């Protein structure tokens, strides 16, 4: 049996790593604290692999590995398209974040992160709080997104929202030849951290803003601040005539059902993994003639913010980089048109090209 045949017939961790060319995966175990974690480093061509730590009750170790490999690759692409000198990484801790998290477990995890000597930099993700990251920070300096009081860059949401706003203006320019959002009917789904800052920008530009959230207090907070904003409840949102749909809650909202109902010209929002199935729904969006600003391109402000912390730059730098999402989004639309491919694919290709071209420079003397 040749090496390639072995690769094709096994489904172990190394075969899975080779599918998308992951560099390194670290399995972390500690019986005393109960820590079971996986750190995946996808690619460090552009710089250290940065990505959050997620704590989740995975049904199996295989599911955890699949998730960490998928998420770390996504981080490489997001950093590459945003023009940052960062690679892609991610970590998962297997367990129930509400029941199994202890200070000792988080600090033991921090020791594992530290053992990688800065090749992987961690941050908060689902199931992990700022307090947990402070405990990780006790054992390693390779942590980012820590509170401002500890010298970090603090809440990334304002920068993320600004980047989404820039991506939306670029999408308007692509669709209507003019990037003004004044008078455009825009529905923001999810008015949490990012969505609420996005609404501020849109109201300031005199867009006709509609909001949607599952929590009444979130809706009321926005209504108190901006009386002109209207509300659409539940999934009636998908039947509303609108110019722009801005998903800022959960992923997967671009699926068979919603795409049958959506009546908009542009889709641009902060939520991660908006396309339920990237290739299937990316293609449908293109065929329907909708302008889709790829999620990881327009929501890169959060990563830009933590990068500015790692690189020792301030909020002004982060905002300047987030502003550039406007140009990057237009470039992706151009690539998609010239290649007659969906925009998500154009973004992936742009990321791969940047990684390859910089790898070439790194090799040359």
Residues with catalytic function: 90
C-alpha 58, offset from chain centre: 20
DSSP 197-216: HHHHHHHHTT-EEEEE-S-H
Q: Which of 35, 55, 246, 270 binds ligand NAD (CB under 6 A)?
A: 270
Smallest distance, ligand NAD to C-beta of residue 326, A: 17
3-state secondary structure 296-333: HHHCCHHHHHHHHHHCCCCHHHHHHHHHCHHHHHHHHH
- Output the six-digit token pair for 206: 């005199």
Rule CB under 6 A: is residue 125 a binding residue for ligand NAD?
A: no
Which 95-124 positions form the footprint of ligand NAD (CB under 6 A)?
none
CA–CA distances in Å: residue 48 to residues 43, 87, 272, 293, 362? 8, 5, 22, 27, 14
Stretch that binds ligand NAD, among 28-36, 172-180, 192-200, 345-353 (CB under 6 A): 192-200
Among 22, 25, 27, 26, residue whose Cα is nearest residue 43: 22
List CB contacts of 141: < 8 A, sequence separation 6 or more: 114
Q: Which of 45, 76, 189, 308 binds ligand NAD (CB under 6 A)?
A: 189
Binding mask 284-303 for ligand NAD (x = CB under 6 A): ---------------x--x-
Rounded CA separation 244/357 (Å): 35
Query: Which neighbouring-strand residues pair with 36?
Result: 29
Smallest distance, ligand NAD to C-beta of residue 213, A: 4
- List the Cα angle 205/160/319 in 5-degree steps: 80
Residue closer to ligand NAD by CB (options 94, 249) is 249
Smallest distance, ligand NAD to C-beta of residue 144, A: 13
Rule CB under 6 A: is residue 271 a binding residue for ligand NAD?
A: yes
- The residue nearest ligand NAD at its CB is 192
Which 194-253 positions form the footprint of ligand NAD (CB under 6 A)?
194-195, 212-215, 218, 248-251
Stretch that binds ligand NAD, among 30-38, 186-194, 321-329, 342-350 (CB under 6 A): 186-194
Rounded CA separation 344/100 (Å): 37
Give me the sheet containing 291-292, strands edge to edge.
230-231, 208-212, 185-189, 244-247, 266-267, 291-292
Binding mask 143-182 for ligand NAD (x = CB under 6 A): -------------xx--x----------------------
Smallest distance, ligand NAD to C-beta of residue 168, A: 14
Stretch that binds ligand NAD, among 143-151, 269-277, 318-326, 343-351 (CB under 6 A): 269-277
CA–CA distances in Å: residue 16 to residues 8, 10, 67, 282? 10, 9, 11, 24
Smallest distance, ligand NAD to C-beta of residue 244, A: 16
Q: Are the C-beta atoms of residues 296 and 272 closer than 8 Å to each other?
A: yes
Smallest distance, ligand NAD to C-beta of residue 191, A: 6
Which 61-100 positions form the footprint of ligand NAD (CB under 6 A)?
none
Residue closer to ligand NAD by CB (options 195, 294) is 195
**Chain positions contacting ligand NAD, by CB under 6 A:** 156-157, 160, 189-195, 212-215, 218, 248-251, 270-272, 299, 302
């Amino acid at each position: 049996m040749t090496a390639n045949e072995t690769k094709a017939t096994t489904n172990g961790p190394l075969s899975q790593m080779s599918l998308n060319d992951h560099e390194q995966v670290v399995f972390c175990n500690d019986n005393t604290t109960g820590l079971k974690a996986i750190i995946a480093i996808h690619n460090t061509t552009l710089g250290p692999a940065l990505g959050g730590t997620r704590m989740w009750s995975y049904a199996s170790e295989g599911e955890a590995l699949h998730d960490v490999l998928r998420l770390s690759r996504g981080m490489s692409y997001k950093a590459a398209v945003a023009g940052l000198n960062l690679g892609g990484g991610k970590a998962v801790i297997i367990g129930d974040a509400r029941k199994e998290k202890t200070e000792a477990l988080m600090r033991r995890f921090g020791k594992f992160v530290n053992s990688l000597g800065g090749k992987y930099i961690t941050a908060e993700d689902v199931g992990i709080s700022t307090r947990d990251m402070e405990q990780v920070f006790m054992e390693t300096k390779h942590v980012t997104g820590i509170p401002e009081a500890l010298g970090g860059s603090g809440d990334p949401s304002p920068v993320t929202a600004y980047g989404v706003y820039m991506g939306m203006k670029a999408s308007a320019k692509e669709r209507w030849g003019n990037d003004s959002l004044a008078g455009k009917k825009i529905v923001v789904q999810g008015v949490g951290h990012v969505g609420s800052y996005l609404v501020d920008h849109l109201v300031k530009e005199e867009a006709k803003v509609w909001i949607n959230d599952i929590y009444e207090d979130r809706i009321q907070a926005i209504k108190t601040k901006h009386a002109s904003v209207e509300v659409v409840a539940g999934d009636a949102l998908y039947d509303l005539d609108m110019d722009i749909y801005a998903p800022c809650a959960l992923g997967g909202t671009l699926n068979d059902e919603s795409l049958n109902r959506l009546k908009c010209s542009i889709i641009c929002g902060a939520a991660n993994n908006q396309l339920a199935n990237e290739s299937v729904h990316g293609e449908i969006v293109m065929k329907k003639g909708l302008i889709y600003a790829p999620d990881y391109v327009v929501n890169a402000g959060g990563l830009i913010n933590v990068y500015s912390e790692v690189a020792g730059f301030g909020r002004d730098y982060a905002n300047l980089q987030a502003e550039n999402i406007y140009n990057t989004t237009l470039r992706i639309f151009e690539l998609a048109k010239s290649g007659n491919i969906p925009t998500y694919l154009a973004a992936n290709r742009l990321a791969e090209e940047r990684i390859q071209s910089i790898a070439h420079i790194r090799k040359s003397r």
